[in-house]
Structures are given as structure tokens and as C-alpha cells.
Chain A
Amino acid sequence: MSDLAIRVENLSKSYRVGRTRVRHDTLRDLVTDRVRSLGRRADRDRAERVFWALRDVSFDVRQGEVVGLVGRNGAGKSTILKILSRITEPTSGRAEIHGRVGSLLEVGTGFDPELTGRENIYLSGAILGMRKGEIDRKFQEIVEFAEIGRFIDTPVKRYSSGMYVRLAFAVAGHLEPEILLVDEVLAVGDAGFQRKCLGRIGEVSRENRTVVFVSHNMSAVARLCQSAIWIDGGQIQEIGRAADVVMHYLAAGQTDAGEVRFDASSGRPPGSEYISLAAARLRDDSGCVTTTFDTTSGVTLEMEYRILRRASSLRLGFALVAHDGTVILASRDADGGVGDGARGPGTYVTRCTISARFLSPGQYALTLGCDTPRIETHFLLERALVFHVEDVSSADGPTANEASGLVRVSLPWASDRMGH
């Protein structure tokens, strides 16, 4: 027998996307639609476009290998996992899986809010493919891993979201499949618990089990995976050593322009009934729109938007994200007292500058958002702008290394002579 765990050959998956509405939610819609289109059959066919979520994807995974799937949102990573876990069928192509599969496509699969922690461990365990005897054996271990202790007999609807997630991951993490398919479960929970989950995946892989895992956490992919697959637009961009693929993938972010515009032609712009984002861009100190900044230049974020209805206590903000997903800082216009929040209808530009000599050389992303605190999120654009900071002209020269940390802050130092 070969040591192949997964073999994927020319896998494709297409969805039909209609003009305005192909889903007939009621029979009446279907009937009236069919009647209306009787006379113009050809027209209808032209209107129905096909969207390829995956196109001719082929790869092999050896047994015991840990493979990371990387790519932007909508690139097709999750579609691959869904096909491999038999939730959805491919349109063409074929995949072969040798071994028992466990898939974790979300946290808390099969959880019922009305049931207690104990009951949910059994239910979720069974849905994920465990036998009752197996759950019995691992029950204590699961409870300990989840750190929920005496809340075990409380309905999970009363749990805090942290407890819920911990319990859900604990159940999932104790599955013992030969092949584990994991989708972004690490994006949840506090930092401490995330570390624990990553540790658990590392453990699983040491037991010579195969793991395929989708993540936006590049440092985790580089650390945990031997190889990685970079998917873009439903096609494979690169397969290779995890560290190489991650590097190339991140480098590709550099080619993005320093500006994103949202025209009416490109679909609905981000926003709500109150605000509509028109553009977001990055400028250096000389006013050029760019994605590459010298350490001696500030990074100015500019957001151009229209206020559609008078909105009070509206906040615009961003989060500065490091290459491995760490949020370095978050800032909102309300923090500085610039916006009292109340803005009448009209077009606005809001700017914020990240000071020069603050960031160490490296790659960063900005997540942009706008909300009315505690009421509504108007838009949230993850990693909308990506930029690089390079050390070219600063006095200390190109000394960039990891040890220098993500940010540079000038702190007051003092040395006193205490005696001989």
C-alpha cells in the first residue's frame, strides 16, 4: 500500500450564478419565472453565468504530513475542505482518501444551546464521528482541556463565548481520525487558548496523523506545516515547502496597489444606510499613494466616504495587523476627539497618520472598520490595505531583524553611577 493519504486529481467545482435571482424561494417564483422566460429561452441561458470556485486542482498529501492551505478569502480553500469532507460534491475530477476522516469546519458543530455541556460533548462527539465508548473514555480529558469545570451541567446557552469555544474545540480536538481537516478554528478564543489549540494540532501531527489546515495565520502555517498549498482564484498558485509558499504568498501582497476604490460598478460598496465607503488609500509623507514606506516616513491612511443619512456617534477606525495576524494596535477617530461622531450627509475624507520611525521593517496590513458603538457595524474590511516598511535611509542602516520587535518606541533611558 502506498503512503498516500489524499490524492486530488483535477478537482473542479462550479456554482451557477444568476443575473438577479436564480433561487426560486417559492414555487410561485419558479412558475412565474418559467412562464416569463418561455419566449426567450436563449436570453435566459446567456444570463446564467457559471462561477468556478475550484478549477483543475491536483495535489497529493502523504501520510503524516501537515499541509497548510493559504490564500485570500474566497480563493477556494474552504471549498477544497468541503469536498474532501464530503459535504459537497465536486463538479468534475476526483479525490481519493485513505483513512478515516475527521473534519472541523466550524467550532461547535452540532452543539445545541439548550443542552448542557455534558450532553453537548456526547452529541457533538457523535456528530463528528466518535463512538459513545470513545467519548466515555475521553470525557474527563475533554472537560479538563476545556477548563469548564463545574459548569459541565449548565446549558451551553448560558456559557460565555470563551467557554463555549473552549468546550467546542476540546471535543473536536479529541477526535482521533487518521486525517484531520481543519478550517480556521484557530481564529477564535483568547491568545492563551489559541496557543493550546495550535499545540494540540502539533501533537496530533506527531502521532503521525495527516492534517490539512486552512489558516490566515501565516506564522502558524510556517511553523506547523511541512508543506503548503497557495490557492488563488480557485487554482493552485504554488505547492511547496511551507516556509517558501508563505513567503511568496505574503510577498504577493506587495503588488497590491496602495488604494482600494469602491465604484458602483464593482457591486455594492461597503457600508450601510448611513455610510458608504468610496475609497481607502495609503500615502507617504510626500503625498504619493504607495505600499512601500521608508521607516523615516509616516504612513497616512485616507478614507473617503459618503454620509447618506445623518448619523450620530459614528466611529471610523483601523487595526494595524502584523504579518502573522497579531493586532499591533487599533485606533478610532473618536479616540482623538476629531469626530464627535455626528456627521451630516455629504462626502468626507478622514485621515490618520501612523508616525514615522514607529514600525520596524516588515509587512503590515490594515483592517478598516466603521461602527456605531454597541449598535451596528457599518463595514469591516479585513486586511483591506497591505504595506511594507523598509529600512533604507535611517541612520542605523539596514539592521532589520526579528529581534528588534514590531514597533519602535523611544523610551527614556537613564544610567546612574552607584559607586565604585
Chain B
Amino acid sequence: MRAFEGTLSPIVIEPSRGRWRLDLGAAWPYRELLYFLVWRDVKVRYKQAALGVGWVVLTPVLTVLVFSMVFGVLARLPSDGHPYVAFAFAGFLPWSYFSQALARGAMCLVGSSQLLTKVYFPRILIPVAAVTMPAVDLLFSSIAMGGLLVWYGIVPGWGLALLPVFTLYAGITALALALWLSPVNVRFRDVGHTIPFLIQCWMYLSPVVYPLSLVPDRWQIVYGLNPMVAVVEGFRWGLLGASSPRVSLFLPGAAVVLVLLVTGTVFFKRMERSLADVV
């Protein structure tokens, strides 16, 4: 018999009101299920559309073209000496991952009501799977980025190797917020309405269409509270060989993520037990 639930120690079921038991270890034996949940989302996503993977490449390309027209050509925003298209794409790549992860993460529990009321597994897997899935999209849209680099003859720096780390950081940021937003969304569907707006504002608060250098020095600490600043800058550094980012700028953002992640996990665990009754 496999050690799914310990056969020796009994499962105890009792009201957990007022108890602070995080019990995250309980999720570990279910790691295969996490894989299957992501796998399902990927399959379903690419199956429904006629163009399949094509959309994943096409959408960011078209978006960046529009950005280049509006911000690069018309508004003449600086791009730190890089071709504006490559500059914007390098920033938009992690941003589109983050925005999808956040949107899916915030909506994930409402979308899984069927599972919540019929079967048990550690609920935290649902937001984790939701923020993981768009990473597959990121992989595909990176192909377009590769094409751009070749086209412009840009040689990436050694920071390229650190891109998975920056992606992970963006994923954790999305997860931290999803842990807060998804249970709230179960009770108040308002969250669903505000997410697209939040994401749009957030993009303009991140250096996606403009360079960090445009932000005045005295505002940079406040600006750095946004964890996505580090992610976008990290991607530009890795892909375009831009100047390496200043670590000091990233610390406020990392602190924000840490606080959100810890409080979010506690909040999620507290809400978890009443989910099946209200969803």
C-alpha cells in the first residue's frame, strides 16, 4: 500500500476553528495531481482553438506591434538604445505570463466548484496549478522572442540562464495574490470584475512599455515596491543584454511578495474549509 495517507496514523476530522494548522506537507503526496491539473488546462486550452498554439504566439506579437506603433513611433518613448519592438517584447513576455497567471489564479476556485463539492484534495493545488499553466504559453511565445533577437542580431547576456528564476518569481507573486483573491471571489464575485482593470493599471505601473530610467530617482524606492519591476528588468537584462539590474531596487518588491505569500497562505487555509459550503 502506498503512503498516500498514512495507514497507521488515522485521519482525524474535527472542526478546525481557531486553530492555526497550515499543514502544507499534506499537499506533497498530491504532487502528481498538480501535474494532471496543469496538463488538463494545457490540453483543453490548445484543443479548443483551431489555431491552437498559434494564438499563443500571435497574441503577444500583435500586442507588441500595437505598443510599438503607439508608444514607440507616435509617443517616441525611449527604449534604452534597443530597438523598440525587441525592448517592448522582452518586457511584455513576462508581463503577459504574470497577467494570465493572476487572472486565472483569482478565478480558479469559482471555476472548480464541481471539484470542490465532490472530492477532497488539498485545495491549495488549485491556485498553484492555475498560476503554473500560463508558463506553458510563455514557453511558446518565447519562440517569437527568439526570432526577434535573430532579426535584430542581438546577443543575449549570461543573464539568460536566470530567466526561469524571474519567471518563478512572477509566478510566486501571482500565487500570493491568488491566495487572497480566489477565496474572496467565491463569496464576492466583484473580484472577477476588478481583475482586468487591476491588471491594466498594473501594467502601466511596471516598466513594460517604457524604460525604468524614465522613473525619477527619488520615486524609484516606491516604484520598486512593485515586484514586477524586478521581473521585467530581469527579462530585459537576460534577453537584450541590458545593464544588470540593481539588487537594491528589488528588495522592497521581494518584501511585499513575502508578506503577501505568508498572509495569503494563512488566509487561504482559513477559507479553505468553508469553500464547499459557499461555492
Which chain A residues have a beta carbon within 8 Å of chain B's beta carbons? 1, 15, 23-28, 30, 82-101, 103, 105-106, 109-110, 112, 114-115, 119, 122-123, 126-129, 131-132, 178
Contacts and interface: CB of A to CB of B under 8 A. Distances in A.
B13 A96 contact: yes
Most chain B Cβ neighbours within 10 Å, of A85, A87, A103, A178 = A87
A27 B190 contact: yes
Contacts of B188: 24-27, 30
Nearest to A105: B118
Interface in B111-134: 114-121
Interface in B151-175: none
Contact of A86 (B8, B11, B44, B274): B11
A115 B1 CA distance: 30
Interface string B28-68: 00001100100110011001100000000000000000000
Contacts of B33: 126-127
Contacts of B36: 122-123, 126-127
A94 B119 contact: no
Contacts of A28: 190
Interface in B1-32: 1-2, 4-5, 7-8, 10-16, 32
B115 A110 contact: yes
Nearest to B14: A94
A117 to B, nearest CB: 13
Interface in B226-268: none
Q: 3 tightest CB-CB pairs across the interface, nearest first?
A: A126-B36, A86-B120, A95-B13
A89 B115 contact: no
A129 B4 contact: yes
A100 B16 contact: no
Interface centre among B1, B5, B190 (most CB of A within 10 A): B5
Contacts of B217: none
A90 B15 CA distance: 6
Contacts of A129: 4, 121
8 contacts: A26-B189, A92-B15, A95-B13, A96-B11, A98-B10, A100-B4, A100-B7, A127-B121
A89 B33 CA distance: 22
A227 B268 CA distance: 39
B11 A89 contact: no
B10 A96 contact: yes
Contact of B277 (A88, A123, A178): A88
Contacts of A95: 12-14
B76 interface: no
A24 B115 contact: no
A114 B47 contact: yes
B276 interface: yes
Interface string B89-125: 0000000000000000000000000111111110000
A89 B240 CA distance: 52
B118 A109 contact: yes
Contacts of B116: 87
